[in-house]
Structure 1
Amino acid sequence: MLICHCNIITEREIEQSIVELLDQDPWQLIVPAKVYHAMHKRGRCCGCFPNVVETIIRVTENYHARSEASGVDIVSHLDRVRGLRVQYGSRTHERRKADHRAA
């Protein structure tokens, strides 16, 4: 599936890049900019970043589930991100007013 239309990047390429980063350091913080940098690309319109974040979360959770770490060491990243979205993201609406309309 095509994730980034600007750079023509597929979901499989993003997943491979994330796994390579996790092989270097399994507990590092991976963000979309780091994934794009590893692929020698850059975000242009950045409309794909929410999908890249979801892919990072899914691949990271699967990576740690397959690893030899105990269940105590594994944290559910998806639940934490969803909690942060509810806490910070849903109220601000990108700092737009309720009556804001695009031209």
Structure 2
Amino acid sequence: MLICHCNVITAKEIEETIIDLLDADPWVLIVPAKVYHAMHKRGRCCGCFPNVVETIIRVTETYHARLQAPGDVVSHLDRVRALRVQFGSRPHEGRTTSHRAA
């Protein structure tokens, strides 16, 4: 599945990059910018970042569950989705309808 249409990056490529980062340090904080930097890419329109965040959470949870790390594995994906519902999404980026770029 294509995640980033600007850079033509698939979900599998992102998942492999996340696993590589976790193999280097299982407790590293992974953010979309770190994933893109590891892939030698950069976010252009950044519309894919919400999907990348969900992929990071899903892959990290699966990775730590596989390791059977001591303690409970906390599911953050439901919390992220709840925050999206609570605060909503702003597709217009705060611009008014009369905003013109030119």
TM surpasses 0.5: yes
2:28 partner letter: Q
Q: Which has the higher helix share?
A: 1
Q: CA deviation at 1:52?
A: 0.6
Q: 1:51 to 1:40 in 2, by over 3 A?
A: same
Q: C-alpha separation between the residues in 2 aligned to 1:30 and 1:76?
A: 15
Partner of residue 18, structure 1: 18
* Superposition pairs of residues 75-90 of structure 1, within 5 angstroms: 75-87=74-86, 89-90=87-88
% of aligned pairs identical? Answer: 71
Q: C-alpha separation between the residues in 2 aligned to 1:96 and 1:13?
A: 32
Query: What is the TM-score normalised by the length of structure 1?
Result: 0.79
2:9 partner letter: I
Q: CA deviation at 1:29?
A: 1.4
Q: 1:7 to 1:95 in 2, by over 3 A?
A: closer
Partner of residue 73, structure 2: 74
Partner of residue 29, structure 2: 29
Per-residue CA distance 1:42-72 (angstroms, 9 max, x = gap): 00011111111111111111111111313x2
Q: CA deviation at 1:75?
A: 1.2
Number of corresponding residues: 98
Q: C-alpha separation between the residues in 2 aligned to 1:80 and 1:7?
A: 28
Q: CA RMSD in A?
A: 2.3
**Range that drifts further, 76-85 or 10-19:** 76-85
Partner of residue 53, structure 2: 53
- Per the alignment, in what secondary structure is the counterpart of residue 65 of structure 1? helix
Q: C-alpha separation between the residues in 2 aligned to 1:81 and 1:29?
A: 16
Q: CA deviation at 1:33?
A: 0.5
The ranges of structure 1 where at least 4 consecutive aligned residues each deviate by more than 6 angstroms after the TM superposition are none
Partner of residue 65, structure 2: 65
Q: C-alpha separation between the residues in 1 aligned to 2:24 and 2:52?
A: 19
Which residues of structure 1 form unaligned runs of 5+?
Answer: none
